[in-house]
Amino acid sequence: MKTVVRRLAGHLARGAAMIWVVTTISFVIIRTIPGDPVRAQYEKLIEQGMAPDQAERATAALYGFLPKGSLWDQYVGYLNGLIHLDLGQSLSTPGTPVATLIGSAAKWTILPVLGGTLLSFLLGVTLGVYAAIKRSGRLGDALAISGSLLHGVPQYVIGLLVMAVFTTLWPILPAGGPVDIMYDPGFNAPYIVSLVEHATLPVLTYALAGYGGWILAMKSSVATVLGDDFILAAELRGLRRGILFRYLARNAILPLFTILALSLGMLFGGAIFIETIFNYPGLGLLLVNSIGARDYALMGGTFLVITVAVVVANIAADLLYAVIDPRVRTGGAA
């Protein structure tokens, strides 16, 4: 238990450091982008006839830090805002805090990403075991080829294909948006059905895009474990097939957990294409729109959230690993 706490503390410290590095970089980038958007905004307001101190306050409200003063003062002000969870205000939707925009977008990303990734993980891992065990047969070949094919096709192509098939060729599902606006939001059947219908294609796309990687990774992992001596030893001790299979599967799936947690983190940013295709108002779409609108405060905020997601996923992966692999568990205690 003490080990776990110490591990967690170490992770949190490292995670905080990483987040600090990323926020610093994004601060510097925003400040050094040609034209300096902060100063440009400030000067634009003055040009519009605003008094300098008023313009300064307006700009400060927008970016969360003062455009005047030394770079260091601005940096300190910016970090101070972050610590109080103040990400500034959006430029493209004036008056709305960035945190609010991100919060409402996050819920549209988290569930489909989680659902799609877990679906592809379960599918890929299960079929990967069969692909490895039957690797000299026709079924194994077919599975491996399906994995290679899907792994090779870019996410957005899969998204467009899925869209074409299910909304045009065989129009059974809605093409875009998160939900039909004609239903009252809330816990009622038509609204939930509409939510699920709209989420189906993005989830399917995440699942198809991830499936290839999982099946290939699991296949090679199982093939490696199959060659391990302890599997042969267990067989020569006459262990039942079911038990042998558990020995095999648990050892083979181990390295994939890290990849799973990491990919969950990465998908927060990687959802850009899929959310754009399906016009799904998640973080990816928010990021794309903020870039299009040169909404630097929103950009910075979105980057920050993606960074936090990756860092948290990393920590989760490591803690999970310690739970399922006894070698890691005691390794920390030494």
Per CB under 8 A, residues contacting another protein are 228-230, 232-240, 243, 247, 250-251, 254, 324-327, 330
Per-residue tokens: 47:
């040009």
Per-residue tokens: 259:
């990849």
Q: Supply the minimum distance, in Å, between the C-beta of residue 246 and another protein.
A: 9
| Helix residue ranges, H only, 164-240 | 189-226, 229-236
Which of 138/240 has CB closer to another protein?
240
Per-residue tokens: 57:
């306050």
Which of 73/235 has CB closer to another protein?
235
**What is each CA distance from 117 to 188, 269, 297, in whole angstroms?**
27, 14, 29
Assess contact for 85 and 92: CB atoms under 8 A: no
Which of 20/245 has CB closer to another protein?
245
Q: Supply the minimum distance, in Å, between the C-beta of residue 255 and another protein.
A: 13
**What is each CA distance from 293 to 67, 93, 274, in whole angstroms?**
20, 10, 20
Contacts of 135 (CB under 8 A, 6+ apart): 141, 144, 219, 223
Q: Supply the minimum distance, in Å, between the C-beta of residue 29 and another protein.
A: 45
Q: Supply the minimum distance, in Å, between the C-beta of residue 120 and another protein.
A: 25
Which of 3/93 has CB closer to another protein?
3
Contacts by 75-79, CB closer than 8 A, 24 or more apart: 75/24, 75/27, 78/23, 78/27, 79/23
Q: Supply the minimum distance, in Å, between the C-beta of residue 294 and another protein.
A: 52
Contacts of 178 (CB under 8 A, 6+ apart): 108, 195, 198, 199, 280, 281
Assess contact for 161 and 149: CB atoms under 8 A: no
Q: What is the residue whose two structure tokens read 């729109």?
A: 289
Which of 123/254 has CB closer to another protein?
254
Q: Supply the minimum distance, in Å, between the C-beta of residue 323 and another protein.
A: 11
Which of 132/267 has CB closer to another protein?
132
Which of 184/229 has CB closer to another protein?
229
Assess contact for 62 and 56: CB atoms under 8 A: no
Q: Supply the minimum distance, in Å, between the C-beta of residue 232 and another protein.
A: 7
